Structure 1
Amino acid sequence: MENIQIKIDNSNLMRLIGPNITKDESDILIKNDSLDSENKNSVKRRKLDKDSHNDSISKNNKPKDLDDVIYYFEDGLRKVKPYYYEYQAFAKGRWLGRSIFDIFCTEFRDRSRDYYAYAIETGLITINEKIVTKEKIVKNQDIIGHKIHRHEPPVTADPIKLISMENDLIVIDKPGSVPVHPSGRYRHNTVLHILQKEFGFSNLYTLNRLDRLTSGIMFLSTNKEKAQEFEQLMQERKIHKEYLCRVIGEFPTGDVRCDKPIMTVSHKLGLNVVHPKGKPCTTIFRRESYNGRTSVVKCIPITGRTHQIRVHLQYLGYVIGNDPLYNHHVWGQQKGKGGIDEVSTKSVINNLINEGINQEECLVLNLPTKQNSDITTSNVMNVESSEQSQRFKDKSLGKCEECTIPNFPDPKPDQLFIWLHALKYEVSGCKYETQLPYWAKDDFDGDINIK
């Protein structure tokens, strides 16, 4: 039998594949020969190196469903009209011999048993594209499908600005809050899909990558060779970068150089810390202004590690004022200044997880924490008297008439990003620069209540 190869990209990692899957496992190639979990040739996983994301090149063909997507703007936010989307995956080895209802109820607990019963009965959950009963036993080579009503988180309504587009090089000013690639809860509210939808690009290579919460200059290309040239320049550190940020406290005058190595200590959280076993890392900082509360600081990263600027600033004792991860209270009174030991690191990770922080979610939004994010409309009704369910309902604005998932209040646009901006890039003698972000100007007073 000819092997059939199915690629499930980051956006297809459904609740079907489950909340337990890590982002590292999000690019999966499955061959339709044997799916026994002990057969090493049956499932090939390509691990993503998070530390190489800034230098990676990825090609993105226009998704088939992008023509049907509806963007709309409301209260300073870009939103995507909820839509149905079907995820598919081959049955895992541990699922074999179990009923489809049991699998969903025990493996994917982000929804209630009542929902899964309804989804199976109505054909939202299928086996080999066929409607089945709750008692249907999953067998080897079965393809499990789950059609869900997707509610993407809103992002800022600020447009993606085209700075330059020549010689196959596209330079944009990315707003903070917009992720680059489809991943997790984001699919269409991403840089790639917005550019494809609004500017008509069919293939794009991302040349550098900014965190979702970070704004500023990004490079893309429609030409593979151009992308490879750019990647080579980045590897040879021939690209000069300048960022701006606003940190708490009076940053020192003169150049401050930080050469501390950085290591990822939690992929689930996307958390990095200064660690002697980390990767070599260098950032130069220079204070631009101080208003008595916070300082605007120019950052020149010599290397390009994940969260490099944020981690080095934390180590120096000057965290970015509205950084929801590295300015979190779990770091203690000193907010991680001077680094923390391994015992403290484990405590920070556990406390962040307990508070519901994770790499994918909107860290700065006023959304339910982990403790109540697993409560669905169905089981809220069954625990009316609990204080937890009351807090959950207080934040809810009713439920979606289509899928019964609770609706939550929208965030304010200024809650969606951090004060970190890629301001300038110099590449092969060409200089690219964005306008100064409003929070970096002398008259900014949005830092009055920041601690």
Structure 2
Amino acid sequence: MADKLEGTITNEQGRIDKVLSERLTSYSRSQIQQWLKEGLVVLNGQKVKANYQVKPDDHFIIHLPEEKPLEVEACDIPLDVVYQDQDVAVVNKPQGMVVHPSHGHPTHTLVNALLFHLDQLSGINGVIRPGIVHRIDKDTSGLLMVAKNDRSHTSLAQQLQDKTTLREYTALVHGNIPHQKGTITAPIGRSKTNRQMQDVVDDGKFAVTHFTVLERFADFTLIKLQLETGRTHQIRVHMKYIGYPIAGDPVYGPKRTLKGNGQFLHAGVLGFTHPTSGQWLTFEAPLPEVFKKTLDNLAKPIDF
């Protein structure tokens, strides 16, 4: 066996597979269910099934499986590697690139590029998501941390679970936000009316987003956002929920919006503790050119 993850249930309720997938956000629920089937999840010293209902003070240990040989094809795709050493890498993902292969995107993803440009990647998430600790949407640009071995992956995943990482985004939203700062606390889950979308729902996963206004334009507001949790489409769903959807968002925004290559959302700041040295590392990535040009155009005076 390689490394392990462990913790104690506090206020969580429900099935063990659901609770663990909510706590360990870098692992999918299906991955955790597979580990349960393989007997790699131990609760209070006993192996349990996926439908086990957790209780307060339950202690879990997950024995992470050994790395598996990678089978996804490496592709010579240009990639902005901001930083790398023997344990971790930080990459600046361009807008329009999918993070890992899926049924609709079998190749030319970030993972395919990582396999070409980096000498090694962690295998905890299997052959489809090597090195991937967290994700951003296809049409969101910006920084991602990548694990080059399982020990680093475990450390980074634990930091995400403990909410000790720094993840700041810049977004352009519709409307003028009147107040300077705000916090959105609203549970996110699959939409009851459209299963392809996420929404704020009563039985959703706990989600918190903080925002600060950077600049106001005639019909738009530029904001900085900081994530406390990492739910699917969290920023996009939360901003729509409070009435200020992200400009250019083809799913959660209005049909008539600014021209671009998708939502004006950029993961510009990333910070975490290095798994080996213990040093705090912070990285910044500039806004994409289309984002910069749009802001410049919005700032220009209107000719009458």
Q: Is the 8 A contact 1:424 1:431 kept in 2?
A: yes
Residue type of the partner of 1:222? Answer: K
Offset of residue 24 of structure 1: 8.8
Equivalent residue in structure 1 for 2:199, among 269, 273, 282: 273
2:217 and 2:114 map into 1 onto residues whose CA distance is 37
Q: Is the 8 A contact 1:286 1:299 kept in 2?
A: yes
Equivalent residue in structure 2 for 1:297, among 223, 248, 253: 223
2:116 and 2:245 map into 1 onto residues whose CA distance is 36
Can you list the C-alpha shifts for 1:132-172, whole angstroms capped at 9, x where unaligned?
xxxxxxxxxxxxxxxxxxxxxxxxxxx42111102411100
Listed as ranges, the matches of 1:223-262 within 5 Å are 223-262=149-188
Q: 1:267 to 1:424 in 2, by over 3 A?
A: farther
Offset of residue 214 of structure 1: 1.1
2:66 and 2:131 map into 1 onto residues whose CA distance is 5
Equivalent residue in structure 2 for 1:419, among 257, 264, 270: 264
Q: Is the 8 A contact 1:58 1:205 kept in 2?
A: no
Q: Which residue of 2 aligns with 1:184?
A: 103
Listed as ranges, the matches of 1:259-408 within 5 Å are 259-265=185-191, 269-328=195-254
Q: Is the 8 A contact 2:120 2:149 kept in 1?
A: no
Q: Which residue of 1 aligns with 2:296?
A: 443
Q: Is the 8 A contact 2:191 2:201 kept in 1?
A: no
Equivalent residue in structure 1 for 2:146, among 190, 197, 220: 220
Listed as ranges, the matches of 1:14-93 within 5 Å are 61-63=69-71, 66=73
Q: 1:60 to 1:226 in 2, by over 3 A?
A: same
2:68 and 2:80 map into 1 onto residues whose CA distance is 20
Q: Is the 8 A contact 2:170 2:268 kept in 1?
A: yes
2:155 and 2:121 map into 1 onto residues whose CA distance is 21
Q: 1:200 to 1:187 in 2, by over 3 A?
A: farther
1:194 maps to 2:109: no
User: In the comparison of the two structures, how many residue pairs are matched?
Assistant: 227
Q: Which residue of 1 aligns with 2:281?
A: 430
Residue type of the partner of 1:420? Answer: L
Offset of residue 291 of structure 1: 2.3
2:149 and 2:109 map into 1 onto residues whose CA distance is 21
1:206 maps to 2:132: yes
Q: Is the 8 A contact 1:61 1:202 kept in 2?
A: no
Q: Secondary structure at the match of 1:309?
A: helix
Offset of residue 258 of structure 1: 0.9
1:161 maps to 2:87: no
Q: Which residues of structure 1 form unaligned runs of 5+?
A: 1-22, 30-45, 47-56, 72-77, 79-158, 334-411, 447-451
Q: Is the 8 A contact 1:264 1:270 kept in 2?
A: yes
Q: Secondary structure at the match of 1:231?
A: helix
Residue type of the partner of 1:258? Answer: I
Determine what percentage of the aligned residue pairs are the same residue: 26
1:197 and 1:299 map into 2 onto residues whose CA distance is 32
2:285 and 2:66 map into 1 onto residues whose CA distance is 24
Q: Is the 8 A contact 1:187 1:193 kept in 2?
A: no
Q: Is the 8 A contact 1:296 1:440 kept in 2?
A: no
Q: Is the 8 A contact 1:263 1:273 kept in 2?
A: yes
TM-score normalised over the length of structure 2: 0.65
Offset of residue 436 of structure 1: 2.5
Q: 1:419 to 1:280 in 2, by over 3 A?
A: same
Which structure would you say has the larger Rg?
1
1:232 and 1:251 map into 2 onto residues whose CA distance is 34
2:134 and 2:242 map into 1 onto residues whose CA distance is 26
Offset of residue 195 of structure 1: 2.0
Residue type of the partner of 1:188? Answer: T
Give the CA RMSD over aligned residues.
3.5
Residue type of the partner of 1:63? Answer: E
Residue type of the partner of 1:282? Answer: V
Q: Is the 8 A contact 1:241 1:424 kept in 2?
A: yes
Q: 1:26 to 1:206 in 2, by over 3 A?
A: closer
Q: Is the 8 A contact 1:249 1:295 kept in 2?
A: yes
Q: 1:325 to 1:216 in 2, by over 3 A?
A: same
Offset of residue 25 of structure 1: 8.2
Q: 1:298 to 1:201 in 2, by over 3 A?
A: same
More helix per residue: 1 or 2?
1
Q: 1:198 to 1:226 in 2, by over 3 A?
A: closer
Q: 1:245 to 1:192 in 2, by over 3 A?
A: same
1:280 and 1:28 map into 2 onto residues whose CA distance is 21
Can you list the C-alpha shifts for 1:229-273, whole angstroms capped at 9, x where unaligned?
111111111112110111111123411111111121269854111
